[in-house]
Chains A and B, each alone.
Chain A
Amino acid sequence: MKTLKTFVLGAGLAALSQLAQAADSGFTLETVDPEADRLALQQYYQKRFPGVPLEEYVNGIYAVDPASREQWDALMEFPPYEFDLEEGQVLFETPFANGKRYADCFDNGGIGIRQNYPYWNSEEGAVKTLEQEINQCREQNGEAPLKWKKGDIAKISAYMAWTSRDKPFDIKIPQDDPRALQAYLDGKKFFYAKRGQLNLSCANCHLDGSRILIRADLPGPTLGQPTHFPVVRSKWGEIGTLHRRYEGCHRDTRSVPLPPQSDEFRKLEYFQTYMSNGLVVNGPGARK
Chain B
Amino acid sequence: MSIMRVKAKASGERTDVKMMAKHIMETGQRKDKAGNVIPALFLSEIEVKHSGKVVFTANLGPAVSKNPYFSFSFAGGASGDTLEVNWKENTGKSGSETAEIR
Contacts and interface: CB of A to CB of B under 8 A. Distances in A.
A83 B66 CA distance: 12
B22 A78 contact: no
Contacts of B40: none
A82 B5 contact: yes
Nearest to B3: A83
Interface in A73-120: 77-78, 80, 82-83
B55 interface: no
Which of B7, B18, B20 has its CB near the most chain A CB atoms (within 10 A)? B20
Nearest to B16: A77
A51 interface: no
Contacts of A83: 5, 20, 22, 67
A237 interface: yes
Interface residues of A, number: 6
Contacts of A80: 67
A82 B18 CA distance: 13
A78 B19 CA distance: 8
Interface in B1-45: 5, 7, 18-20, 22
B66 A78 contact: no
A237 B7 contact: no
A82 B20 contact: yes
Q: Helix, strand, loop or mixed for chain B's interface?
A: strand
Nearest to A80: B67
B36 to A, nearest CB: 22
A77 B67 contact: no
Nearest to A74: B71
B66 A77 contact: no
B74 interface: no
A77 B5 contact: no
Given A82-B5, A83-B67, A237-B66, A77 B22 contact: no
B72 interface: no
B81 to A, nearest CB: 20
Contacts of A78: 5, 7, 18-20, 69, 71
Interface in B31-90: 65-67, 69, 71
A78 B18 CA distance: 7
Contacts of B19: 78
B92 to A, nearest CB: 25
Contacts of B65: 237
A204 B69 CA distance: 36
Contacts of A82: 5, 20
A82 B5 CA distance: 9
A80 B18 CA distance: 13
Contacts of B67: 80, 83
A237 B68 CA distance: 12
A80 B66 CA distance: 11
Interface string A171-204: 0000000000000000000000000000000000
**In the A-B complex, the 9 residue pairs with the closest CB atoms:** A78-B20, A78-B18, A78-B69, A83-B22, A77-B18, A82-B5, A237-B66, A77-B71, A83-B67
Given A78-B5, A78-B7, A78-B20, 11 more contacts: A77-B69, A78-B18, A78-B19, A78-B69, A78-B71, A82-B5, A83-B5, A83-B20, A83-B22, A83-B67, A237-B65
11 contacts: A77-B18, A77-B71, A78-B5, A78-B18, A78-B19, A78-B20, A78-B69, A82-B5, A82-B20, A83-B5, A237-B65
